[in-house]
Structure formats: C-alpha cells, structure tokens
C-alpha cells in the first residue's frame, strides 16, 4: 500500500461544494465585527473541554436538532453538527476582475523554492511589482529582464510556459539537480495549475483554545489570516483598485496561501505527530493483529504461534462470517454470534478455527510476524498459527523461544504484530521470510549468524531435563516430544 498525493483541481472542488461558499472578494470588512466574522470561518474556538453535540450555527442564534440545515443570516453559516461537518472549505477567493487566474499553492511553493536565490524570492519579485526583499537582487533577476520577460502577475500567468522555459535556460537553474523533476511535475499536472477559485483552509484545521489562563493559537494561523486580509473586499471597494494593484494583491494572496499550506503540511501532516502517522501508519490494517508475546511451554515446532481468542475473533472475522454462512446462519445471526463471542468461548467457533488451521497447506495459517523496529534481518518472519487459545483470559500471543534471537524479542512485555497471508499465493511468496532463511550472516559469506543459537533459558532448561531423564522415568510430554 502506498500513499501519494494528487494535485487538487480547485475549480472542480469549488463546483462540487455541498454548501454555498462565502466569496471573500465580495465581502465588505469595514468594521472589526465583519473582520472577525470572516476570520471565524477559518478557525474553531474552543472555550472548554466539552464539545457541543447539538447542531448550531456559528453564532449560536439557531440551534437544536429540529433546525438543522437552516441558514443563519447573522453569521452566514448553516445550523449543523460541528463534529459531523464535511471537511470542505467555506471561504473561497475568486480571481479578481481582469486577473487571469490563481496558481495552485503547491505549484507555487515548488516554483518559489526552485528559483529562490539566497533570501530573494524570484517568483514573487516577478509577479508582484511591489515586492521588497531584505536580500540583494541577484544577477538572475537582471538576466530575466534582459531576456525580455516583463514583471507582473498577469504576464507571468499568460505566458507561463514560455517564461518557465526561458528561465530554465539561465545557467544557475539549468544545472540544478531537480530541474527535470520540476518540468515533469508541471507537465503532469498542467491542467490543474491554474484556477479561478482558491480555497481558504477549513476551520477544523485551525484551533484556538480559550482557557482560564490564556488563549492558545497555532502560529500557522497567521499566514492564513494574512492571505484573507490581502484579498477580502477587493471587488467591492468604493474606489476600484487599479489593475496592477489587483495583480499584486493576487500574487500576495497566492504566496500567503502557499506559505500556509507548506507550513501546515510540515507541522501537522508530515511530522512524527502528524496526521498520516496518527491515522494511517498508526492504525491496524485489515487481517492483522498485535499483542504481547509469551513463550509456548508445551512441545512445539519453532515456527508455531498460538493466538488469543479475542485477537482471532477480530482478525479472522471475514473467515468466520464465510464459514458460518455456509453452515446456514443468516447475516444477522452471524453478526450476533460474532459480537457475543468476541471475548467469550464458543464450541462451534472453536471448531471453525480448527477447520481453518487444518485446511491450511502446512496445518497452520501462515502469517508474517514482526517486531518493530524492523531494522535487522529477521525482524519480520513467517510463522504459522497452529492454535487459537480457548482460554479467553489469556490475551497473549505465544511463540517459540527458539526464534526470538532474530526478532531481538524477550518475554518482558514485548508486543508483536502479525499479518495474515490471505491465500496460497501469499502463503507461498512469504516463504522467503521463514525463520530458517535468516541464519546466514550477510556480512560474512558462508558464515552462520547467531540467530539459531539457543536462548540461555533454553540451555538451562535442556540441562535440567537431561538431569531429570537420568534420575527419573520419562513423562508423557517427553515421550510425545521424542516422537
Ligand atoms: Zn448564526
């Protein structure tokens, strides 16, 4: 499974909005109240730890489940469930009159980064004739002008392809490593780069918290506010700004939104505490499970694992549903049975588990078994589930002490995860991860590493066992093992 981000077509998003948006261009903000009203659309204020579950409009004049979807003229919002709202932008900018279009903020960021010289933002300088920088104008700027490229936002958009081609001929940029990548990206998403509408962030993304001591806001809010202030009321001022003013303000808006997007992604999406990790990598995928490990104390093969009842009920749910259906259960009966026995033993379900195990090619359901971090060879191995524990009070996965070395696992509370191999093809392919494939030392040819070595507890156990054999009659378990 891979995640990749597509470039959003903003105009298409705009056409598919579920609720009427607010266009900031047409919104007069002469008073502080009006300004606050607009800013309130991009952030959520929390005054306490309790979240309101009753539908309401932004100002609260309309509230109650019976008035859901009613429109409030005071605060320009619909009466809705705050927690169930679809995450779409409420605030949008329309491209000001006679200005050609917005640039997609993602593309803007890429261009800006690529053409930046020191602290000097060449793209901003090119598109915004008011651009002022603390850094000295680089020689590239003069070269651009010498090539006949004029500054100005509309000019940049109208002649985008030609200007880009010319600029990429400047030696500094021509020899840049990621030049081909940039060109390829632009070509791939050419139809999504320009748009007539540009969204401001949805308010669920930005949170302000009022506490007894202080107000907390995320710093990323300022670039969003900056973007809104630049373009608000641009089309409804009494004195219409000149075209070059509108062009410059458009450039500034795009730059501010781009800065916001980048900052937001860097701080809230991509980071270790970011959304991807929180919601995707951090959640359990289908047909997988994870639990604390313990050792198998009865005779066993080294690639066996025994899984807890509760875990098997979750991970094998689809299998159980199929088996029960074949046994004549209706869908409702199936769900009822599975839910009731999620942590309660059942004879018939245990029968099915045994059936599943017996049907598997090696009399055990193959899974890949993993202990994080997966740095060394052998931290993921293919093992077989040969038993579902009937004691529902045992929540641990039992595994063999003989293969803990490669996992670097011990039984002091380590948790390990497993992924079920869903069919014979996967079962076959995963053989490459079998424990016996991990015993050659990758650093030294024809040398065996320490993975097959026995753990100290096993050695002392075996010692005790031999001593016992000498002094007493063999037990039933010893006989079984000897066979
Ligand atoms: Zn209201």
CA of 79 to the centre of ligand 1 (A): 8
CA of 47 to the centre of ligand 1 (A): 18
Q: How far apart are CA 31 and CA 28, in angstroms?
A: 9
Supply angle C-alpha 332, 333, 338, rounded to 5: 100
* Residue 387 three-state SS: strand
Supply angle C-alpha 295, 300, 306, rounded to 5: 55
Judge if the upstream peptide bond of residue 378 is cis by omega within 30 degrees of 0: no
CA of 75 to the centre of ligand 1 (A): 4
Contact by Cβ (8 Å): 204, 89: no
CA of 66 to the centre of ligand 1 (A): 15
Q: Which residues surround ligand 1, an ion (CB under 5 A)?
A: 57, 59, 61, 72, 74-75
pLDDT, residue 478, reads 65
Kindly give the confidence (pLDDT) of every residue in the chain, 483 residues in length, as a single tens digit, with 9 standing for 90 and above.
Answer: 455 668 889 999 999 988 888 888 887 777 888 878 887 777 777 776 666 778 888 777 888 889 888 888 888 888 888 777 777 888 899 999 899 999 999 999 999 999 999 889 999 999 999 998 888 999 999 999 999 999 999 999 999 999 999 999 999 899 998 999 999 999 999 999 999 999 988 777 777 777 777 777 777 778 888 888 888 877 777 778 888 999 999 999 999 999 988 888 888 888 888 887 777 777 778 899 999 999 999 999 999 999 999 999 999 999 999 999 999 999 999 999 999 999 999 999 999 999 999 999 889 999 999 998 877 888 999 999 999 999 999 999 999 999 998 998 989 999 999 999 998 999 999 999 999 998 888 888 889 988 888 888 888 888 888 887 666 666 676 667 665
Q: Domain 288-452: which topology?
A: Barwin-like endoglucanases (2.40.40)
Phi-psi sector, 17: left (phi>0), alpha (psi -120 to 50), beta: beta
CA of 54 to the centre of ligand 1 (A): 14
Query: Where in the chain are the domains?
Result: 10-95+203-275, 105-188, 288-452, 459-483
CA of 63 to the centre of ligand 1 (A): 9
CA of 216 to the centre of ligand 1 (A): 24
pLDDT digits (tens, 9 = 90+) for 48-70: 666 677 888 877 788 888 988 88
CA of 203 to the centre of ligand 1 (A): 16
CA of 314 to the centre of ligand 1 (A): 45
Phi-psi sector, 177: left (phi>0), alpha (psi -120 to 50), beta: alpha
pLDDT digits (tens, 9 = 90+) for 387-410: 999 999 999 999 999 999 899 898
């Amino acid at each position: 499974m891979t995640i990749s981000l597509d470039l959003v077509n903003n105009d298409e998003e705009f056409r598919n909005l579920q609720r009427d948006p607010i266009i900031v261009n047409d919104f007069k903000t002469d008073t502080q109240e009006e300004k606050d009203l607009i800013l309130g659309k991009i952030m959520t204020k929390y005054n306490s730890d309790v979240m309101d579950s009753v539908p309401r409009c932004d100002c609260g004049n309309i509230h109650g489940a019976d008035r859901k979807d009613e429109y409030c003229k005071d605060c320009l919002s619909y009466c809705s469930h705050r927690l169930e709202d679809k995450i779409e932008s409420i605030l949008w900018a329309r491209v000001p009159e006679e200005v050609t279009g917005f640039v997609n903020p993602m593309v803007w960021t890429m261009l800006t980064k690529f053409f930046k010289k020191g602290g000097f933002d060449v793209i901003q300088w090119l598109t915004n004739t008011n651009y002022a920088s603390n850094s000295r104008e680089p020689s590239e700027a003069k070269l651009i002008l010498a090539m006949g490229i004029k500054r100005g936002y509309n000019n940049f958009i109208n002649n985008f392809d030609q200007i880009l081609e010319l600029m990429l001929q400047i030696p500094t940029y021509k020899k840049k490593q990621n030049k081909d990548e940039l060109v390829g990206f632009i070509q791939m998403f050419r139809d999504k780069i320009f748009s007539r509408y540009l969204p401001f962030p949805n308010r669920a993304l930005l949170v302000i918290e009022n506490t007894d001591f202080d107000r907390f806001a995320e710093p990323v809010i300022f670039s969003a506010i900056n973007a809104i202030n630049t373009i608000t009321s641009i089309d409804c001022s009494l004195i219409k700004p000149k075209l070059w003013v509108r062009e410059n303000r458009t450039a500034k808006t795009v730059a501010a939104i781009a800065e916001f997007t980048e900052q937001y992604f860097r701080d809230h999406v991509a980071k270790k505490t970011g959304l991807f990790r929180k919601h995707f990598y951090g959640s359990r995928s289908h047909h997988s499970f994870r639990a604390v490990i313990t050792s198998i104390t009865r005779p066993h093969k080294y690639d066996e694992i025994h899984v807890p009842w509760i875990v098997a009920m979750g991970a094998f749910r689809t299998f159980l549903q199929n088996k029960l259906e074949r046994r004549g259960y209706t869908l409702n009966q199936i769900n009822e049975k599975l839910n009731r026995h999620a942590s309660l033993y059942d004879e018939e379900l245990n029968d099915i588990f045994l059936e599943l195990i017996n049907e598997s090619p090696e009399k055990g359901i193959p899974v890949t078994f993993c202990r994080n971090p997966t740095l060394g060879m052998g931290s993921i191995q293919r093992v077989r589930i040969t038993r579902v524990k009937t004691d529902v009070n045992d929540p641990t996965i039992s595994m063999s002490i003989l293969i803990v070395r490669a996992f670097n696992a011990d039984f002091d509370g380590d948790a390990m995860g497993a992924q079920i191999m869903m069919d014979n093809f996967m079962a076959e392919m995963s053989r490459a991860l079998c424990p016996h494939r991990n015993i050659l030392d990758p650093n030294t040819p024809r040398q065996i590493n320490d993975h097959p070595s026995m753990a100290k507890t096993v050695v002392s156990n075996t010692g005790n066992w031999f001593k016992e054999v000498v002094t007493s009659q063999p037990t039933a378990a010893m006989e079984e093992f000897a066979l």
